Chain A
Protein backbone atom coordinates (compact mmCIF):
# COMPACT_ATOMS: atom_id res chain seq x y z
CA UNK A 1 0.00 0.00 0.00
CA UNK A 2 1.35 3.41 -0.96
CA UNK A 3 1.68 6.06 1.77
CA UNK A 4 -1.01 8.71 2.12
CA UNK A 5 -2.01 11.67 4.23
CA UNK A 6 -5.18 11.19 6.27
CA UNK A 7 -7.53 14.03 7.19
CA UNK A 8 -10.88 13.97 8.93
CA UNK A 9 -13.27 16.50 7.40
CA UNK A 10 -15.54 18.43 9.73
CA UNK A 11 -17.90 20.05 7.22
CA UNK A 12 -18.93 19.28 3.62
CA UNK A 13 -17.55 22.49 2.07
CA UNK A 14 -14.18 21.82 3.62
CA UNK A 15 -14.22 18.21 2.40
CA UNK A 16 -15.08 19.34 -1.13
CA UNK A 17 -12.37 22.02 -1.10
CA UNK A 18 -9.76 19.50 0.06
CA UNK A 19 -10.70 17.02 -2.65
CA UNK A 20 -11.00 19.60 -5.43
CA UNK A 21 -7.55 20.99 -4.60
CA UNK A 22 -5.81 17.63 -4.98
CA UNK A 23 -6.31 15.45 -8.08
CA UNK A 24 -4.82 12.52 -6.15
CA UNK A 25 -7.12 12.78 -3.13
CA UNK A 26 -10.06 10.47 -2.42
CA UNK A 27 -12.97 10.46 0.02
CA UNK A 28 -13.28 7.53 2.41
CA UNK A 29 -16.55 6.57 4.13
CA UNK A 30 -17.25 2.91 4.96
CA UNK A 31 -13.95 1.86 3.41
CA UNK A 32 -15.14 -1.62 2.45
CA UNK A 33 -14.18 -1.05 -1.20
CA UNK A 34 -11.45 1.59 -0.93
CA UNK A 35 -9.32 -0.21 1.68
CA UNK A 36 -9.21 -3.28 -0.56
CA UNK A 37 -8.29 -1.10 -3.55
CA UNK A 38 -5.46 0.41 -1.50
CA UNK A 39 -4.17 -3.06 -0.63
CA UNK A 40 -4.45 -4.29 -4.22
CA UNK A 41 -3.00 -1.14 -5.78
CA UNK A 42 -6.25 -0.57 -7.71
CA UNK A 43 -6.34 2.92 -6.17
CA UNK A 44 -3.28 4.84 -5.01
CA UNK A 45 -4.53 8.13 -3.57
CA UNK A 46 -1.96 10.47 -2.05
CA UNK A 47 -4.52 11.82 0.43
CA UNK A 48 -7.59 10.33 2.10
CA UNK A 49 -10.36 12.61 3.32
CA UNK A 50 -12.48 10.84 5.90
CA UNK A 51 -16.07 12.10 5.57
CA UNK A 52 -17.59 9.94 8.32
CA UNK A 53 -17.79 12.96 10.63
CA UNK A 54 -20.23 14.78 8.33
CA UNK A 55 -23.26 13.73 10.34
CA UNK A 56 -25.69 15.91 8.36
CA UNK A 57 -25.11 13.54 5.44
CA UNK A 58 -26.13 10.48 7.48
CA UNK A 59 -29.84 11.16 7.99
CA UNK A 60 -32.76 9.25 6.48
CA UNK A 61 -35.83 11.40 5.83
CA UNK A 62 -39.18 10.02 4.68
CA UNK A 63 -42.10 12.24 3.73
CA UNK A 64 -45.16 12.22 1.48
CA UNK A 65 -43.05 13.23 -1.56
CA UNK A 66 -40.46 10.51 -1.08
CA UNK A 67 -37.24 9.50 0.59
CA UNK A 68 -34.02 11.35 1.07
CA UNK A 69 -31.30 8.87 1.98
CA UNK A 70 -28.20 10.61 3.28
CA UNK A 71 -25.02 9.64 1.47
CA UNK A 72 -23.47 8.38 4.71
CA UNK A 73 -26.49 6.40 5.92
CA UNK A 74 -25.29 2.80 6.25
CA UNK A 75 -26.90 0.07 4.17
CA UNK A 76 -28.16 -1.63 7.34
CA UNK A 77 -29.72 1.61 8.63
CA UNK A 78 -31.69 2.15 5.43
CA UNK A 79 -32.80 -1.50 5.38
CA UNK A 80 -34.08 -1.22 8.98
CA UNK A 81 -35.89 2.11 8.52
CA UNK A 82 -39.66 1.68 9.10
CA UNK A 83 -40.78 4.00 6.27
CA UNK A 84 -38.47 2.37 3.74
CA UNK A 85 -39.70 -1.08 4.82
CA UNK A 86 -43.34 -0.04 4.45
CA UNK A 87 -43.33 1.86 1.16
CA UNK A 88 -40.14 0.88 -0.73
CA UNK A 89 -39.70 -2.89 -0.28
CA UNK A 90 -37.54 -3.18 -3.41
CA UNK A 91 -34.88 -1.01 -1.74
CA UNK A 92 -34.87 -3.06 1.48
CA UNK A 93 -34.85 -6.38 -0.37
CA UNK A 94 -31.94 -5.27 -2.57
CA UNK A 95 -29.99 -4.12 0.49
CA UNK A 96 -30.47 -7.22 2.64
CA UNK A 97 -29.46 -9.42 -0.30
CA UNK A 98 -26.16 -7.49 -0.62
CA UNK A 99 -22.83 -8.44 0.96
CA UNK A 100 -22.89 -9.58 4.62
CA UNK A 101 -24.31 -8.09 7.81
CA UNK A 102 -20.88 -6.79 8.81
CA UNK A 103 -20.31 -5.08 5.47
CA UNK A 104 -23.83 -3.60 5.47
CA UNK A 105 -23.08 -2.02 8.86
CA UNK A 106 -20.01 -0.34 7.38
CA UNK A 107 -20.85 0.50 3.77
CA UNK A 108 -22.44 3.88 3.09
CA UNK A 109 -25.23 4.35 0.55
CA UNK A 110 -23.10 6.63 -1.65
CA UNK A 111 -20.16 4.26 -1.36
CA UNK A 112 -22.41 1.45 -2.55
CA UNK A 113 -23.09 3.43 -5.74
CA UNK A 114 -19.35 4.08 -6.17
CA UNK A 115 -18.33 0.42 -5.93
CA UNK A 116 -16.62 -0.94 -9.01
CA UNK A 117 -17.04 -4.07 -11.06
CA UNK A 118 -16.36 -7.55 -9.68
CA UNK A 119 -14.89 -8.60 -13.05
CA UNK A 120 -12.10 -11.02 -12.01
CA UNK A 121 -9.64 -9.37 -14.40
CA UNK A 122 -10.23 -5.97 -12.78
CA UNK A 123 -9.76 -7.49 -9.29
CA UNK A 124 -6.85 -9.79 -10.24
CA UNK A 125 -3.85 -10.02 -7.91
CA UNK A 126 -1.52 -10.12 -10.91
CA UNK A 127 -1.46 -7.32 -13.48
CA UNK A 128 -3.74 -8.42 -16.32
CA UNK A 129 -5.01 -6.27 -19.18
CA UNK A 130 -7.96 -4.22 -17.93
CA UNK A 131 -8.98 -0.87 -19.39
CA UNK A 132 -10.81 0.05 -16.19
CA UNK A 133 -7.77 -0.56 -14.02
CA UNK A 134 -5.06 0.62 -16.42
CA UNK A 135 -6.55 2.63 -19.29
CA UNK A 136 -5.21 1.45 -22.63
CA UNK A 137 -4.04 -1.95 -21.37
CA UNK A 138 -6.82 -3.87 -23.13
CA UNK A 139 -9.62 -6.14 -21.93
CA UNK A 140 -8.63 -9.63 -20.82
CA UNK A 141 -12.25 -10.69 -20.62
CA UNK A 142 -12.92 -9.88 -24.27
CA UNK A 143 -10.93 -12.97 -25.33
CA UNK A 144 -10.91 -14.71 -21.96
CA UNK A 145 -13.66 -15.79 -19.61
CA UNK A 146 -16.86 -13.83 -20.07
CA UNK A 147 -19.51 -15.84 -18.27
CA UNK A 148 -19.90 -13.01 -15.75
CA UNK A 149 -19.93 -10.30 -18.43
CA UNK A 150 -22.59 -7.95 -19.77
CA UNK A 151 -25.19 -8.75 -22.42
CA UNK A 152 -26.25 -5.11 -22.84
CA UNK A 153 -24.23 -1.90 -23.17
CA UNK A 154 -20.72 -3.37 -23.36
CA UNK A 155 -18.02 -2.16 -25.75
CA UNK A 156 -14.85 -3.54 -27.31
CA UNK A 157 -13.00 -1.83 -24.43
CA UNK A 158 -14.92 -3.38 -21.53
CA UNK A 159 -17.56 -6.05 -20.99
CA UNK A 160 -17.86 -5.70 -17.19
CA UNK A 161 -21.11 -5.43 -15.24
CA UNK A 162 -21.91 -3.14 -12.32
CA UNK A 163 -22.25 -5.10 -9.06
CA UNK A 164 -24.61 -2.96 -6.92
CA UNK A 165 -28.00 -4.39 -6.03
CA UNK A 166 -29.59 -1.28 -4.57
CA UNK A 167 -28.58 0.75 -7.64
CA UNK A 168 -30.91 -1.50 -9.65
CA UNK A 169 -33.77 -0.61 -7.29
CA UNK A 170 -32.89 3.09 -7.54
CA UNK A 171 -32.91 2.90 -11.35
CA UNK A 172 -36.37 1.31 -11.31
CA UNK A 173 -37.74 3.99 -8.95
CA UNK A 174 -36.42 7.06 -10.86
CA UNK A 175 -34.09 8.06 -8.03
CA UNK A 176 -31.88 11.14 -8.22
CA UNK A 177 -28.35 11.55 -6.91
CA UNK A 178 -27.78 14.82 -5.04
CA UNK A 179 -24.22 16.09 -5.35
CA UNK A 180 -22.34 19.12 -4.14
CA UNK A 181 -19.15 20.47 -5.64
CA UNK A 182 -17.02 23.61 -5.70
CA UNK A 183 -19.58 25.19 -8.07
CA UNK A 184 -22.61 24.34 -5.93
CA UNK A 185 -25.27 21.65 -5.86
CA UNK A 186 -26.85 19.66 -8.66
CA UNK A 187 -29.09 16.64 -9.08
CA UNK A 188 -28.25 13.77 -11.41
CA UNK A 189 -31.15 11.58 -12.61
CA UNK A 190 -30.21 8.02 -11.72
CA UNK A 191 -30.07 6.79 -15.30
CA UNK A 192 -27.49 9.50 -16.09
CA UNK A 193 -25.29 8.73 -13.08
CA UNK A 194 -23.36 5.85 -14.67
CA UNK A 195 -21.66 6.07 -18.06
CA UNK A 196 -21.53 3.27 -20.59
CA UNK A 197 -17.92 2.16 -21.17
CA UNK A 198 -17.47 3.22 -24.82
CA UNK A 199 -13.73 3.76 -25.21
CA UNK A 200 -13.35 5.22 -21.67
CA UNK A 201 -14.39 2.38 -19.35
CA UNK A 202 -12.35 3.77 -16.43
CA UNK A 203 -14.60 6.85 -16.42
CA UNK A 204 -17.58 5.23 -14.74
CA UNK A 205 -19.86 8.00 -13.51
CA UNK A 206 -20.85 11.53 -14.47
CA UNK A 207 -19.45 12.86 -11.18
CA UNK A 208 -16.63 15.40 -11.48
CA UNK A 209 -13.54 15.29 -9.27
CA UNK A 210 -14.30 17.43 -6.24
CA UNK A 211 -17.98 16.56 -6.14
CA UNK A 212 -19.44 14.88 -3.08
CA UNK A 213 -22.63 12.81 -3.14
CA UNK A 214 -24.83 14.22 -0.38
CA UNK A 215 -28.00 12.13 -0.72
CA UNK A 216 -30.11 9.87 -2.88
CA UNK A 217 -33.67 11.00 -3.48
CA UNK A 218 -36.45 8.50 -4.26
CA UNK A 219 -39.92 9.76 -5.25
CA UNK A 220 -42.93 8.19 -3.53
CA UNK A 221 -45.09 6.24 -5.99
CA UNK A 222 -47.51 3.31 -6.16
CA UNK A 223 -44.84 1.39 -8.13
CA UNK A 224 -42.53 1.80 -5.12
CA UNK A 225 -45.12 0.51 -2.64
CA UNK A 226 -45.79 -2.57 -4.76
CA UNK A 227 -42.23 -3.49 -5.64
CA UNK A 228 -39.88 -6.43 -5.36
CA UNK A 229 -36.21 -7.35 -5.87
CA UNK A 230 -35.37 -10.83 -7.13
CA UNK A 231 -31.70 -11.81 -7.11
CA UNK A 232 -30.42 -14.94 -8.84
CA UNK A 233 -26.99 -16.05 -7.69
CA UNK A 234 -24.82 -19.13 -7.36
CA UNK A 235 -25.04 -19.23 -3.55
CA UNK A 236 -28.06 -18.54 -1.36
CA UNK A 237 -26.32 -15.72 0.45
CA UNK A 238 -23.29 -13.42 0.35
CA UNK A 239 -22.78 -13.48 -3.42
CA UNK A 240 -23.15 -11.04 -6.28
CA UNK A 241 -25.98 -11.43 -8.77
CA UNK A 242 -25.74 -13.46 -11.93
CA UNK A 243 -28.93 -11.63 -12.87
CA UNK A 244 -31.35 -9.60 -10.78
CA UNK A 245 -34.56 -7.69 -11.37
CA UNK A 246 -36.06 -4.72 -9.54
CA UNK A 247 -39.72 -4.45 -10.47
CA UNK A 248 -42.69 -2.34 -9.45
CA UNK A 249 -46.25 -2.25 -10.64
CA UNK A 250 -49.40 -0.17 -10.32
CA UNK A 251 -52.46 -2.21 -11.21
CA UNK A 252 -56.04 -1.10 -11.84
CA UNK A 253 -58.12 -4.23 -11.28
CA UNK A 254 -56.30 -6.68 -13.52
CA UNK A 255 -54.83 -4.09 -15.88
CA UNK A 256 -51.33 -2.64 -15.59
CA UNK A 257 -51.43 1.13 -15.10
CA UNK A 258 -47.65 1.47 -14.83
CA UNK A 259 -44.74 -0.96 -14.61
CA UNK A 260 -41.09 -0.50 -13.70
CA UNK A 261 -38.38 -2.97 -14.64
CA UNK A 262 -34.62 -2.68 -14.12
CA UNK A 263 -32.06 -5.46 -14.46
CA UNK A 264 -28.81 -6.06 -12.58
CA UNK A 265 -25.88 -8.27 -13.54
CA UNK A 266 -26.40 -7.79 -17.27
CA UNK A 267 -24.85 -4.41 -18.13
CA UNK A 268 -22.24 -1.84 -17.09
CA UNK A 269 -25.04 -0.03 -15.23
CA UNK A 270 -28.50 -0.90 -13.93
CA UNK A 271 -30.43 -1.65 -17.12
CA UNK A 272 -33.85 -0.08 -17.23
CA UNK A 273 -36.31 -1.67 -19.68
CA UNK A 274 -38.27 1.46 -20.59
CA UNK A 275 -39.64 0.19 -23.90
CA UNK A 276 -41.04 -2.92 -22.24
CA UNK A 277 -42.53 -0.79 -19.45
CA UNK A 278 -44.31 1.39 -22.02
CA UNK A 279 -45.61 -1.64 -23.88
CA UNK A 280 -47.07 -3.03 -20.65
CA UNK A 281 -49.26 -0.02 -19.81
CA UNK A 282 -52.87 -1.02 -20.34
CA UNK A 283 -52.03 -4.71 -20.72
CA UNK A 284 -53.33 -7.42 -18.37
CA UNK A 285 -51.12 -8.15 -15.35
CA UNK A 286 -50.20 -11.64 -16.54
CA UNK A 287 -47.01 -13.58 -17.14
CA UNK A 288 -48.09 -14.03 -20.76
CA UNK A 289 -48.33 -10.27 -21.37
CA UNK A 290 -44.99 -9.74 -19.61
CA UNK A 291 -43.20 -12.32 -21.77
CA UNK A 292 -44.60 -10.79 -24.94
CA UNK A 293 -43.54 -7.28 -23.93
CA UNK A 294 -40.06 -8.43 -22.93
CA UNK A 295 -39.39 -10.44 -26.08
CA UNK A 296 -40.28 -7.62 -28.46
CA UNK A 297 -39.07 -4.64 -26.46
CA UNK A 298 -36.11 -5.77 -24.39
CA UNK A 299 -34.24 -8.97 -25.14
CA UNK A 300 -34.24 -8.56 -28.92
CA UNK A 301 -31.46 -6.02 -28.25
CA UNK A 302 -29.33 -8.32 -26.09
CA UNK A 303 -25.80 -9.01 -27.32
CA UNK A 304 -24.64 -12.04 -25.34
CA UNK A 305 -21.04 -13.12 -25.48
CA UNK A 306 -19.49 -16.58 -25.85
CA UNK A 307 -20.18 -17.90 -22.35
CA UNK A 308 -23.18 -15.93 -21.17
CA UNK A 309 -26.06 -16.48 -23.58
CA UNK A 310 -27.84 -18.08 -20.61
CA UNK A 311 -28.24 -14.60 -19.11
CA UNK A 312 -30.78 -13.64 -21.78
CA UNK A 313 -33.24 -16.35 -20.83
CA UNK A 314 -32.36 -16.12 -17.14
CA UNK A 315 -33.05 -12.37 -17.07
CA UNK A 316 -36.33 -12.81 -18.94
CA UNK A 317 -37.49 -15.43 -16.46
CA UNK A 318 -36.24 -13.40 -13.51
CA UNK A 319 -38.43 -10.44 -14.49
CA UNK A 320 -41.49 -12.63 -14.96
CA UNK A 321 -40.94 -14.43 -11.66
CA UNK A 322 -40.41 -11.12 -9.84
CA UNK A 323 -43.73 -9.87 -11.25
CA UNK A 324 -45.45 -13.12 -10.22
CA UNK A 325 -44.14 -12.29 -6.74
CA UNK A 326 -46.15 -9.05 -7.01
CA UNK A 327 -49.31 -10.92 -8.02
CA UNK A 328 -49.12 -11.37 -11.78
CA UNK A 329 -51.27 -14.32 -12.87
CA UNK A 330 -50.40 -16.91 -15.51
Chain B
Protein backbone atom coordinates (compact mmCIF):
# COMPACT_ATOMS: atom_id res chain seq x y z
CA UNK B 1 0.00 0.00 0.00
CA UNK B 2 1.25 3.43 -0.92
CA UNK B 3 -1.27 5.27 1.20
CA UNK B 4 -0.55 7.31 4.24
CA UNK B 5 -3.08 8.26 6.81
CA UNK B 6 -3.37 11.98 7.27
CA UNK B 7 -6.77 12.33 8.89
CA UNK B 8 -7.22 9.14 10.77
CA UNK B 9 -10.52 8.09 12.31
CA UNK B 10 -10.92 5.55 15.07
CA UNK B 11 -12.23 2.12 14.10
CA UNK B 12 -12.29 -1.51 15.16
CA UNK B 13 -8.91 -2.85 16.27
CA UNK B 14 -8.33 -4.76 13.04
CA UNK B 15 -9.74 -1.99 10.84
CA UNK B 16 -7.67 -0.78 7.90
CA UNK B 17 -6.50 2.82 8.01
CA UNK B 18 -9.10 5.50 7.46
CA UNK B 19 -8.23 7.83 4.61
CA UNK B 20 -9.89 11.24 4.69
CA UNK B 21 -12.09 13.09 4.90
CA UNK B 22 -9.66 15.63 3.52
CA UNK B 23 -6.38 15.25 1.63
CA UNK B 24 -4.52 11.94 1.54
CA UNK B 25 -1.19 11.10 -0.04
CA UNK B 26 -1.23 8.29 -2.57
CA UNK B 27 0.95 6.97 -5.35
CA UNK B 28 -0.50 6.33 -8.79
CA UNK B 29 1.50 4.37 -11.36
CA UNK B 30 0.76 5.84 -14.78
CA UNK B 31 2.42 4.64 -17.97
CA UNK B 32 5.00 2.83 -15.86
CA UNK B 33 5.96 5.84 -13.75
CA UNK B 34 4.99 6.19 -10.07
CA UNK B 35 3.58 9.60 -9.15
CA UNK B 36 3.00 10.85 -5.61
CA UNK B 37 -0.20 12.89 -5.45
CA UNK B 38 -2.35 14.41 -2.74
CA UNK B 39 -6.07 13.96 -3.31
CA UNK B 40 -9.31 14.04 -1.39
CA UNK B 41 -10.94 10.57 -1.43
CA UNK B 42 -13.74 12.14 -3.50
CA UNK B 43 -11.43 12.83 -6.45
CA UNK B 44 -12.08 10.63 -9.46
CA UNK B 45 -9.21 8.98 -11.26
CA UNK B 46 -10.03 11.22 -14.24
CA UNK B 47 -9.61 14.42 -12.22
CA UNK B 48 -6.43 13.10 -10.60
CA UNK B 49 -4.91 12.39 -14.03
CA UNK B 50 -5.88 15.73 -15.53
CA UNK B 51 -5.65 18.17 -12.65
CA UNK B 52 -2.96 16.65 -10.41
CA UNK B 53 -0.71 14.92 -12.96
CA UNK B 54 -1.41 17.31 -15.86
CA UNK B 55 -2.06 14.35 -18.16
CA UNK B 56 -4.63 16.18 -20.26
CA UNK B 57 -4.92 13.57 -23.00
CA UNK B 58 -7.66 11.78 -21.07
CA UNK B 59 -10.81 13.82 -21.65
CA UNK B 60 -13.82 14.67 -19.53
CA UNK B 61 -16.99 14.41 -21.62
CA UNK B 62 -20.09 13.48 -19.62
CA UNK B 63 -18.36 12.76 -16.29
CA UNK B 64 -21.01 10.11 -15.58
CA UNK B 65 -19.88 6.95 -17.34
CA UNK B 66 -21.80 7.40 -20.56
CA UNK B 67 -19.55 8.82 -23.29
CA UNK B 68 -16.20 6.97 -23.13
CA UNK B 69 -13.98 10.06 -23.54
CA UNK B 70 -12.19 9.26 -20.25
CA UNK B 71 -11.26 5.66 -21.18
CA UNK B 72 -7.94 4.47 -19.74
CA UNK B 73 -6.53 1.01 -19.04
CA UNK B 74 -6.06 -0.37 -15.56
CA UNK B 75 -4.02 -3.58 -15.45
CA UNK B 76 -4.60 -3.94 -19.18
CA UNK B 77 -8.39 -3.57 -19.07
CA UNK B 78 -10.26 -0.61 -20.54
CA UNK B 79 -12.26 1.30 -17.92
CA UNK B 80 -13.90 4.68 -17.43
CA UNK B 81 -11.78 6.93 -15.22
CA UNK B 82 -14.72 9.23 -14.38
CA UNK B 83 -16.68 6.66 -12.37
CA UNK B 84 -13.88 5.41 -10.17
CA UNK B 85 -11.98 7.08 -7.35
CA UNK B 86 -8.24 7.77 -7.52
CA UNK B 87 -7.69 6.31 -4.01
CA UNK B 88 -8.95 2.93 -5.28
CA UNK B 89 -6.06 2.54 -7.76
CA UNK B 90 -2.86 2.84 -5.75
CA UNK B 91 -1.91 -0.74 -6.64
CA UNK B 92 -2.89 -0.67 -10.31
CA UNK B 93 -0.95 -0.12 -13.52
CA UNK B 94 -2.72 2.77 -15.22
CA UNK B 95 -2.16 3.42 -18.94
CA UNK B 96 -3.28 6.57 -20.70
CA UNK B 97 -3.12 7.89 -24.26
CA UNK B 98 0.20 9.61 -23.39
CA UNK B 99 1.82 6.16 -23.13
CA UNK B 100 0.67 4.75 -26.47
CA UNK B 101 3.21 6.23 -28.93
CA UNK B 102 6.90 5.33 -28.67
CA UNK B 103 8.44 8.79 -28.76
CA UNK B 104 7.56 10.22 -32.18
CA UNK B 105 6.67 6.78 -33.51
CA UNK B 106 2.88 6.47 -33.52
CA UNK B 107 1.16 3.23 -32.66
CA UNK B 108 -0.37 1.62 -35.80
CA UNK B 109 -3.83 2.43 -34.44
CA UNK B 110 -2.96 6.11 -34.06
CA UNK B 111 -1.54 6.11 -37.60
CA UNK B 112 -4.73 4.44 -38.85
CA UNK B 113 -6.87 7.19 -37.29
CA UNK B 114 -4.84 9.73 -39.27
CA UNK B 115 -4.93 7.64 -42.48
CA UNK B 116 -8.73 7.42 -42.29
CA UNK B 117 -9.37 10.95 -41.00
CA UNK B 118 -11.23 9.35 -38.10
CA UNK B 119 -11.93 12.55 -36.16
CA UNK B 120 -13.02 16.12 -36.62
CA UNK B 121 -12.84 17.94 -33.30
CA UNK B 122 -10.71 15.20 -31.74
CA UNK B 123 -12.17 15.46 -28.26
CA UNK B 124 -13.28 11.82 -28.11
CA UNK B 125 -10.23 10.47 -29.96
CA UNK B 126 -7.98 9.51 -27.06
CA UNK B 127 -10.87 7.59 -25.52
CA UNK B 128 -11.62 5.97 -28.88
CA UNK B 129 -7.99 4.88 -29.24
CA UNK B 130 -7.67 3.54 -25.69
CA UNK B 131 -10.93 1.66 -26.14
CA UNK B 132 -9.95 0.24 -29.54
CA UNK B 133 -6.53 -0.93 -28.28
CA UNK B 134 -8.30 -3.03 -25.67
CA UNK B 135 -10.91 -4.19 -28.21
CA UNK B 136 -8.20 -5.75 -30.37
CA UNK B 137 -6.87 -7.67 -27.35
CA UNK B 138 -10.36 -8.80 -26.34
CA UNK B 139 -11.03 -10.19 -29.81
CA UNK B 140 -7.66 -11.96 -29.82
CA UNK B 141 -8.55 -13.53 -26.49
CA UNK B 142 -11.82 -14.74 -28.05
CA UNK B 143 -14.11 -12.88 -25.67
CA UNK B 144 -17.74 -12.65 -26.86
CA UNK B 145 -19.77 -9.52 -27.57
CA UNK B 146 -23.44 -8.86 -28.32
CA UNK B 147 -22.52 -9.13 -32.02
CA UNK B 148 -21.14 -12.66 -31.59
CA UNK B 149 -23.68 -15.07 -33.07
CA UNK B 150 -22.75 -18.03 -30.85
CA UNK B 151 -21.27 -17.03 -27.51
CA UNK B 152 -19.66 -20.47 -27.12
CA UNK B 153 -17.43 -19.91 -30.18
CA UNK B 154 -14.04 -18.42 -29.29
CA UNK B 155 -12.72 -17.60 -32.76
CA UNK B 156 -14.16 -14.18 -33.45
CA UNK B 157 -13.68 -12.21 -36.69
CA UNK B 158 -12.70 -8.55 -36.61
CA UNK B 159 -15.84 -7.71 -38.59
CA UNK B 160 -17.52 -4.32 -38.88
CA UNK B 161 -20.40 -5.59 -36.74
CA UNK B 162 -18.02 -6.71 -34.00
CA UNK B 163 -16.08 -3.42 -34.09
CA UNK B 164 -19.25 -1.29 -33.99
CA UNK B 165 -20.73 -3.25 -31.10
CA UNK B 166 -17.49 -3.27 -29.11
CA UNK B 167 -16.95 0.47 -29.65
CA UNK B 168 -20.50 1.41 -28.59
CA UNK B 169 -19.24 2.80 -25.29
CA UNK B 170 -17.36 5.58 -27.11
CA UNK B 171 -19.52 8.36 -28.49
CA UNK B 172 -18.34 10.70 -31.27
CA UNK B 173 -20.51 13.78 -31.65
CA UNK B 174 -18.80 14.59 -34.95
CA UNK B 175 -20.10 11.17 -36.03
CA UNK B 176 -16.83 9.84 -37.46
CA UNK B 177 -18.01 6.30 -36.84
CA UNK B 178 -17.39 4.87 -40.34
CA UNK B 179 -13.82 6.16 -40.28
CA UNK B 180 -13.25 4.92 -36.72
CA UNK B 181 -14.50 1.44 -37.67
CA UNK B 182 -12.19 1.44 -40.70
CA UNK B 183 -9.23 2.54 -38.55
CA UNK B 184 -9.76 -0.21 -36.01
CA UNK B 185 -10.08 -2.78 -38.79
CA UNK B 186 -6.86 -1.58 -40.43
CA UNK B 187 -4.92 -1.57 -37.17
CA UNK B 188 -6.22 -5.02 -36.27
CA UNK B 189 -5.09 -6.40 -39.61
CA UNK B 190 -1.71 -4.62 -39.39
CA UNK B 191 -0.76 -5.70 -35.89
CA UNK B 192 -0.22 -9.44 -35.92
CA UNK B 193 1.63 -9.24 -32.59
CA UNK B 194 -0.31 -8.11 -29.52
CA UNK B 195 -0.79 -4.36 -29.58
CA UNK B 196 0.73 -2.20 -26.89
CA UNK B 197 -0.70 0.67 -24.99
CA UNK B 198 -1.28 -1.20 -21.80
Contact = CB atoms under 8 A, between A and B. Distances in A.
18 contacts: A3-B40, A4-B21, A14-B15, A30-B84, A32-B65, A35-B84, A36-B64, A48-B41, A50-B88, A79-B144, A85-B154, A100-B170, A101-B169, A103-B65, A103-B83, A106-B79, A237-B146, A237-B164
A76 interface: yes
Contact of B16 (A8, A31, A105): A8
Contacts of B1: 8
Instruction: Name the residue in B1, B16, B40 with the highest tally of chain A Cβ atoms < 10 Å from its Cβ.
Output: B16
Contacts of B142: 80
Nearest to A8: B16
A261 B118 CA distance: 44
Question: What is the size category of the interface that chain A forms with chain B?
Answer: 35 or more
A17 B138 contact: no
Given A6-B41, A76-B143, A80-B143, A101 B166 contact: yes
Nearest to A31: B84
Given A100-B169, A101-B135, 6 more contacts: A5-B21, A7-B16, A14-B16, A17-B12, A100-B170, A102-B68
A97 B12 CA distance: 42
B41 A4 contact: yes
A85 B85 CA distance: 32
B112 interface: no
B42 interface: yes
Contacts of A80: 141-144
A238 B147 CA distance: 12
B115 to A, nearest CB: 24
Contact of A3 (B20, B82, B141, B166): B20
Contacts of B190: none
Contact of B77 (A35, A82, A89, A105): A105
A115 to B, nearest CB: 12
A18 B144 contact: no
Q: Which residue among B21, B24, B79, B84 has the maximum number of chain A CB atoms within 10 Å of its CB?
A: B79
A1 interface: yes
A102 B79 contact: yes
Interface in A46-62: 47-48, 50, 52
B29 interface: no
Contacts of A328: none
A211 interface: no
Contacts of B102: none
Contacts of B82: 35
Nearest to A104: B169
A249 B165 CA distance: 28
Contacts of A93: 146, 151
Given A7-B17, A17-B12, A101-B78, A79 B71 contact: no
A38 interface: yes
Contacts of B165: 236-237
Interface residues of B, number: 54
B87 interface: yes
Contacts of B175: none
B19 interface: yes
A7 B15 contact: yes
B58 interface: no
A92 B144 contact: yes
A85 B151 contact: yes
A279 interface: no
A186 interface: no
A89 B64 contact: no
Contacts of A89: 151-152
B22 interface: yes
A254 interface: no
A48 B166 CA distance: 32
Contacts of A86: 152
Taking each of A17, A48, A79, A105, which has the highest tally of chain B beta carbons within 10 Å of its own beta carbon?
Answer: A105
A109 to B, nearest CB: 16
B18 interface: yes
Contacts of B143: 76, 79-80
A213 B144 CA distance: 26
A35 B18 CA distance: 19
Contacts of B135: 101
Interface in A143-164: none
Interface in B91-137: 131, 134-135
A39 interface: yes
B9 A5 contact: yes
Given A3-B21, A3-B22, A97 B146 contact: yes
